[in-house]
Copies of this chain bind each other. A is one copy, B any other.
Amino acid sequence: MSTNSIAVKWEEKELEKISLAEGVSVAKLRRLLEAGRVIIPRNAKRAAEAANRDIVLKAIGEGLSTKVNVNVGTSKDYVDIEEEVRKAKTALKYGADTIMDLSTGGDLDEIRRTILREVDVPVGTVPIYQAALEKAGLRAVVDMSSDDMFNAVRKHAEDGIDFVTIHSGVNLNSLARLRRSERILDVVSRGGAFLVAWMIHNERENPFYEEYDYLLEIAKEYELTLSLGDGMRPGCISDASDRAKFMEVITLGELVKLAREEGVQAIVEGPGHVPLDEIEASVKAIKNITDFAPLYLLGPIVTDIAPGYDHFVSAIGGAVAGMYGADFLCMVSPSEHLALPSVNDIKEGTIVTRIAAHVADLVKDEQRERARLLDDEMAHARKNLDWKTQFEIAMNGEDAQRIRNGRPPSESDACSICGDLCAIKMVKEFLKK
């Protein structure tokens, strides 16, 4: 494990808190942070704020529990800051570790600043959305200057944003592979699409690749974590694991190395739509190619034909990806591919993604012992027909209780499935071990 000069210096008491939360020693945490295999996204401005506010630090990466990000944000057609704040708070209630504001409608500065004020976990954004929107309209995306792009990053960093998605791997090289590919859906990443359009129209290299050193300067100044976006992620099962995608991963690996050399924390974003049997190879290959940078996955979505259920579909992929080493899962909502999510969509998406993360933690070497304590406690509560404890441990105890109460058993401490024929009760009586 080669070490690098991570610029951020963590205080002992900060690392002790994380050590306690993760069950990993402070010494090990320091080693992993120095190697860039673990990152703690926190803007220097938010660090300064920490004296007056209890902002929770989240460590993401190798050997740690699987983290969950939840995206919120307005769109052109739906702008309601209060609703977006409710979404963010709902996500936190159900266990989100970080929030990303992906707003593309309304007063973007106000929304971002409100979210930062209201949310006490790391907050991320995709600054190019704002750069593009300030040019207003479809064609105008290509009229952004490289200054527009970097200024948006600086503005977000200045506000205190902890991590930003930057599609530096969408460069002329990966575009060339895309052109030679036989993809059905070409590019489905919004930021990726902006940059593909921009490069083609302007016949120029992506500024976030060409002037990556300038990006690192900004990141260093604000202790901003870079989430290197996967603009070439496949948008359907048929397009998965192709050369355009892996070309981008190779670039991202090189960019991770440069970031580490400058002491900038970096994570890598991954696909996308991937069939179940390609997830292991995909995760392991990306981890290797990027020198084991923390891996942040969108999905993977393991079938295309279940709109309305894409939170489930992604969580199947996320659980399996987590088992093979993914560190950070991005919630996909039930309205993915269909509409801007509602508060309830955010709730259901968050719960299901948290389940996937926990399922992965149950089988991750360093986490399984701790994760299983909860499952064992639930098993004991079930054996004792102790419903109160069951609802306390449950991922969503409120709704579990509502289901049980909706069809209560008439005269039994069991449930209305089996009533007096409860296997647990019967075996307890006869087996008396």
A interface residues, Cβ below 8 angstroms from B: 75-78, 104-105, 129, 132-133, 137-138, 141-142, 178-179, 184-190, 192-194, 196-197, 200-201, 235-239, 275-277, 302-309, 312-313, 315-316, 319-320, 323, 334-340, 342, 351-352, 355-356, 358-360, 362-363, 372, 374-376, 378-380, 382-383, 390, 393-396, 399-400, 403-404, 406-410, 415-421, 423-431, 433
Partner of A407, one of B342, B427, B429: B342
Partner of A378, one of B201, B305, B339, B378: B305
Residues of B close to A200: CB separation below 8 A: 430-431
Residues of B close to A189: CB separation below 8 A: 423
Residues of B close to A395: CB separation below 8 A: 305-306, 308-309
Quick one: given A410-B77, A430-B196, are A363 and B275 in contact (CB under 8 Å)?
yes
- Alpha-carbon separation in the docked complex, A137 to B425 (Å): 13
Residues A319 and B339 in contact, CB atoms below 8 Å apart: no
Quick one: given A138-B420, A316-B316, A421-B104, are A415 and B302 in contact (CB under 8 Å)?
no
Residues of B close to A408: CB separation below 8 A: 77, 339
- Alpha-carbon separation in the docked complex, A188 to B335 (Å): 36
Residues B77 and A407 in contact, CB atoms below 8 Å apart: yes
Residues B197 and A429 in contact, CB atoms below 8 Å apart: yes
Quick one: given A374-B305, A394-B305, are A431 and B338 in contact (CB under 8 Å)?
no
Residues A186 and B431 in contact, CB atoms below 8 Å apart: yes
Quick one: given A75-B417, A421-B132, are A308 and B399 in contact (CB under 8 Å)?
yes
- Alpha-carbon separation in the docked complex, A256 to B162 (Å): 59
CB-CB nearest in chain B for A129: B421
4 further A-B pairs in the complex, CB-CB below 8 A; given A132-B421, A277-B323? A133-B421, A142-B430, A237-B376, A307-B394
